[in-house]
Structure 1
Amino acid sequence: MTLDVNGVFSDAWRLWKRDRDLLIGVAGFFLFVPELAMKLFVALPPKTPATLDQAALKAWLDAMESWSNQYSLLVVVLALVSLFGVVAVFTLYLDPERPDVARGLVRALRLFPRFLLLSILVAIPVYFGLMLFYLPGFYAQGRLLLAAPAVVAEQPYGAIGSMSRSLTLTRGYGLILAGFGCMSLLAGNLLSWPFEAIGGTLDGAPMANPVVAALLDIGSAAGATVGVLGAILVQVALYRRLTSSRGI
């Protein structure tokens, strides 16, 4: 079986052009703002020690404990806000009741616990797959890529049911969807990387003033937001095409 990859991207692009103002508003508040806050107010966690001797390991664990005590609550809150933004965008496109923005946000709030559980369950095979030379993780992400759309569009599917539904819809497209899975995992990082690389280069240099640092953080957060939003629109387009073509 073949999948029209160009058609999927064209569908996603049409969604962006049609709903640009709406998406900028929702994604700007629920995706961009938490991402920017993470970069502005959360320090990077301590780097793992180069050597595993007892003294270095103890120093790293102490530093991690200090970092966790200071930032862990904020990190969790910002991550939950971002995840709610993802649910909200899916809801506006795929909820069976086709709600407006206000009702869509309320319905997204009701779906949030189910979506949170789904995110955790999907992350487990993807994480272990990435540990095995990346490709198994990309494959797992691709096969489970439609679980998030399904949990919104096919209520009252739960987390497990949505994962099973995704496996059914993506059967026969594993390798193609591994590419989509790779894109969804890495797009945000790739788009934000240039700004982070420049920031690392300027760190401590005369030009590294607060204004430059803030602009780089804004650029990095915008890149990550574009990556996440693009992945959502591609998932919506994929879901619509595969449910239509398979009739299941």
Structure 2
Amino acid sequence: MKLDVAGVLRDAWAMAKRDVEVLVGVAGLFLFVPDLAQAMYVALPPDLPDFGDEAAADLWLKQIGIWSQHYELLVIVLGLLSLFGTLALFLLYADRARPTVAGALARGGALLPHYLLLALIVTVPVSIGAVLVFPGLYLKGRLMPVAPVFVAERPIGVFAAWHRSFALTRGNGLVLMGLAFVPLLGGRLIALPFALLGKALDGAPMANPVMAALLDAGMAGGHTIGTVAAVLIEIALYRRLSNGI
């Protein structure tokens, strides 16, 4: 079956326009705020040392240990909040029970451990494949419907959801590589000017808390838009593929 990519994007855009208030509320609280908090309160981890420099490697291990002591728990909590927010969005659109926002948040709490496992079995192989670029993008494209499958076709195991996603996307792998890249690129392009401005100021924002907060908010906003776009595109894709459109 030939996939109508333009139709998928139209469907996603229609959902965004129709539900803008709900999306702003859920994504603002559970995606934007954790991203902004991480930018403001979590220092960047130390850079990897040069390969083969044993002394630098030892120093890096000590530095990363200190960094972990200070920030690891906060990073985990913020990451779980973001994951919960993403799951809530999938529940709002893909759950067959058609929950309200409050209902989606309640169901999300119960499903979060299983969704965390699903996220891991998607993220880890995609990240490994991304080292070679093409395999990572291809795998990401084939797994685009996996979260909607997990929510809409419950009870279904995480590995069964993986298999179902591959079955749905059979014959459209190359097209979905490009589609998977759209929200990622869009979100990063929105955040990019704020990141570049921060680098251009060469640390000056730290002397001006208002400027620093504005730059961090701009980057967090770009990341949030990218995540919401990815969720809506994946929902629209799943609906078309599962209905044979």
Question: What is the aligned residue count?
Answer: 245
Map residues 29-44 of structure 1 onto 2, 5 A cutoff. Answer: 29-44=29-44
1:129 matches 2:118 = no
1:178 matches 2:177 = yes
- What runs of 5+ residues in structure 2 fail to find an aligned partner? none
Residue in structure 1 matched with residue 64 of structure 2 by the alignment:
64
Map residues 147-162 of structure 1 onto 2, 5 A cutoff. Answer: 147-162=146-161
- In structure 2, C-alpha distance between the alignment counterparts of 1:135 and 1:38, rounded to whole Å: 30
Give the letter for the 1:245 counterpart: G
Give the letter for the 2:22 counterpart: L
- In structure 2, C-alpha distance between the alignment counterparts of 1:184 and 1:109, rounded to whole Å: 26
Further displaced range: 164-173 or 46-55: 46-55
Displacement of 1:205: 4.1
Q: Is the 8 A contact 2:206 2:212 kept in 1?
A: no
Residue in structure 1 matched with residue 235 of structure 2 by the alignment:
236
- In structure 2, C-alpha distance between the alignment counterparts of 1:96 and 1:135, rounded to whole Å: 34
Residue in structure 2 matched with residue 120 of structure 1 by the alignment:
120
Q: Is the 8 A contact 2:205 2:212 kept in 1?
A: no
Q: Is the 8 A contact 1:111 1:152 kept in 2?
A: no
Computed over aligned residues only, the root mean square deviation of the Cα atoms, in angstroms, reads 1.6
> After superposition, what is the alpha-carbon deviation per residue over 1:62-93, rounded to whole angstroms, capped at 9, x for unaligned?
11111111001100100000000000000011
Partner-residue secondary structure (3-state), 2:156: coil
Give the letter for the 2:228 counterpart: L
Give the letter for the 1:80 counterpart: L
> After superposition, what is the alpha-carbon deviation per residue over 1:117-164, rounded to whole angstroms, capped at 9, x for unaligned?
0000011221121112x0110000110111100000000011001111
Partner-residue secondary structure (3-state), 1:245: coil
- Residues 206 and 32 of structure 1: is their aligned pair in 2 closer, same or farther, counting only changes over 3 Å? closer
Displacement of 1:182: 2.5
Give the letter for the 1:28 counterpart: G
Map residues 169-248 of structure 1 onto 2, 5 A cutoff. Answer: 169-205=168-204, 209-245=208-244
Residue in structure 1 matched with residue 25 of structure 2 by the alignment:
25
Displacement of 1:207: 9.3
- In structure 2, C-alpha distance between the alignment counterparts of 1:149 and 1:27, rounded to whole Å: 17
So what's the TM-score if we normalise by structure 1?
A: 0.94
Q: Is the 8 A contact 1:27 1:229 kept in 2?
A: yes
So what's the TM-score if we normalise by structure 2?
A: 0.95
**Misfit runs of 4+, over 6 Å:** none
